[in-house]
Amino acid sequence: MGKKGKKEKKGRGAEKTAAKMEKKASKRSRKEEEDLEALIAHFQTLDARKTQVTETPCSPPSPRLNASLSAHPEKDELILFGGEYFSGQKTLLYNELYVYNIKKDTWTKVDIPGPPPRRCAHQTVVVPQGGGQLWVFGGEFASPDGEQFYHYKDLWVLHLATKTWEQVRSAGGPSGRSGHRMVAWKRQLILFGGFHESTRDYIYYNDVHSFNLDTFVWSKLSPSGTGPTPRSGCQMSVTPQGSIVIYGGYSKQRVKKDVDRGTQHSDMFLLKPEDGGEGKWTWTRISPSGVKPTPRSGFSVAMTPNHQVLLFGGVCDKEEEESLEGMFFNDLYFYDAARSRWFLGQLKGPKSEKRKRRRARAEDHEGARELERGAASAPEPLEVVKEVVAEDGTVVTIKQVLTAPGSASCPPPEEEDGAVEAGPRVEPCPRSSAMLAVKHGLLYVYGGMFEAGDRQVTLNDLYCLDLHKMEEWKVLVEMDAETQEWLEDTDSEEDSSSAEGAEGGDEDQDEDSGEETGEEEEGSHS
């Protein structure tokens, strides 16, 4: 009996210890948020100095990732808001608003009184009513050392016609988070997933919320069926049929003390409104055919003119016990919801170059070679299909296209002739967390990041691709990554001001901060 009593006491003691530890961790988390709230309040007092709208022509924005890039619903403009930058020593966060005029190829910095606090990995949605509105929810703020995080749960709207910010206060909305996804569906904003992180803990979400744009009321949806597991940084898009597609994303879980394992999801779900049931939805898991994206996180998403989903870039992290190595991508995938099919976006190359190559080949190859080339261009490309099991148990189909020599859809054989090649193909370098927007059938890719050894290179280049022609990328803003200053991490804070040169914004932004955890695009997001 005595031994049993001791065991019970010991068990209760362990429970008490665990409860104390949890209470301490909760206090630390609250203390972190209070510290960051004070910093956010400081920046807001600086922002409060702006009392009128000013529009200043400027050079392209400084390098950043996990910002938002949106197409104006009425004007030939792209709107860039927020984002983050890491110099190697210091994390900077932005709430700047930039407008890119597509026809004039010019940038303007727009300062509007009372903007949202600085953030990254938020979500924006543009709706056409009232001359155009840009809705912003959530996102993340971090301390300059990138060690403490604050997640917003605020909702803002930028009235594009009057250039005014408004915070919309409505009870019952989602908890604070970043890396979530949000789309406009009819007269509602539908929000899914995301994550919340403190120094010692994190949580991923798979909840669904709706915000009514007429009543300004939040509702939590409870779809029937089995939906996606908790995740951030997924693809979320509305299909022409009125359903919502969720693909991929990232999550991590603790496998043992101080050891986390990340999962790059590659499953796909359909969130469908039930007929006649107001506010009732159903989850269905789907398995599209075609060439699916290889496993990755940090990819970016946009909608094409024919209502297909476009997925660009990202990173595939290979995690070892003590290391994390990423393979970055710059490929394009399209998802056709009407056919429930993925396909790889392949560029055709400029027409003038193709004509030159065809002429050169015609001169060089006579007789049997000419017949062989003509015959080779006729058959369909050969597809080799491999199935790979992803970490979360889903089967990923990787399809390799092997094209016969001479086929117009296979540029490498044509490019072997250096005499007629106009030069190396222009394209965005592989990256994650880039910002995408589509306007008039043109895809714009801005910024993002990639890693070179221990160095994180943040980009501010701008590329454009005509989605109707799919011929070639055009570079609108160039960037030489070699010129970006990278400051080695040190224990001292003596060099904290040295990040200012790379920041490129207002002087009052120098202490700014914000960092997305490594998986994000995310986009965020992207």
> Looking at residue 406, what is its pLDDT?
32
Q: What one-character DSSP code corresponds to residue 399?
A: E
Nearest to 456 by CA among 427, 490, 433, 436: 433
Look up residue 54 and give its two tokens. 């000013």
> Looking at residue 283, what is its pLDDT?
98
Q: What one-character DSSP code corresponds to residue 368?
A: H
**What's the one-letter identity of residue 47?**
D
Nearest to 525 by CA among 189, 178, 121: 121
Residues 187, 214: contact at Cβ < 8 Å? yes
Beta bridge partners of 81: 68, 97
Residues 281, 243: contact at Cβ < 8 Å? no
> Looking at residue 481, what is its pLDDT?
74
How would you classify the pairing of strands 382-389 and 473-477? unpaired
Helix (H, G, I), strand (E, B) or coil at 507: helix
Contacts of residue 353, defined as CB under 8 A and 6 or more positions apart, other chains included, come to: 420, 421, 422
Q: Annotate 19-72 with DSSP letters as a single string.
A: HHHHHHHHHHHHHHHHHHHHHHHHHHHHHTT--S-EEEEESPPPP-BS-EEEE-
**Does the predicted model carry a pTM greater than 0.75?**
yes
Contacts 24+ apart (CB under 8 A), 26-32: 28/198, 28/199, 28/200, 29/198, 29/199, 29/200, 29/201, 32/148, 32/149, 32/150, 32/198, 32/199
Helix (H, G, I), strand (E, B) or coil at 362: helix
Start-to-end CA distance of the chain, whole Å, equals 61
Look up residue 234 and give its two tokens. 């997924």
3 state SS for 320-352 = CCCCEEEEEEEEEEEEECCCCEEEEECCCCCHH
**What's the one-letter identity of residue 74?**
E
3 state SS for 77-91 = EEEEECCEEECCCCE
d(CA 387, CA 400): 11
> Looking at residue 494, what is its pLDDT?
41
> Looking at residue 108, what is its pLDDT?
98
> Looking at residue 396, what is its pLDDT?
45
Element spanning 286, H or E? strand 281-286
Q: Give the Å distances, CA to CA, from 196 to 17, 121, 138, 297, 493.
A: 25, 12, 11, 17, 27
> Looking at residue 145, what is its pLDDT?
86
> Looking at residue 135, what is its pLDDT?
98
Low-confidence ranges of the chain (pLDDT < 50): 1-11, 18, 21-22, 362, 364-392, 394-421, 492-526
Residues 64, 85: contact at Cβ < 8 Å? yes
Residues 109, 55: contact at Cβ < 8 Å? yes
Nearest to 489 by CA among 99, 90, 107: 90
Residues 209, 221: contact at Cβ < 8 Å? yes
Rounded to 5°, the CA angle 337-122-279 comes to 55
Residues 367-382 as b/e (b if ≥16 CB within 10 A, e otherwise) read eeeeeebeeeeeeeee
Chain position carrying tokens 């796909």: 268
What are the phi and psi torsion angles at 420 (to 5°)? -110, -5
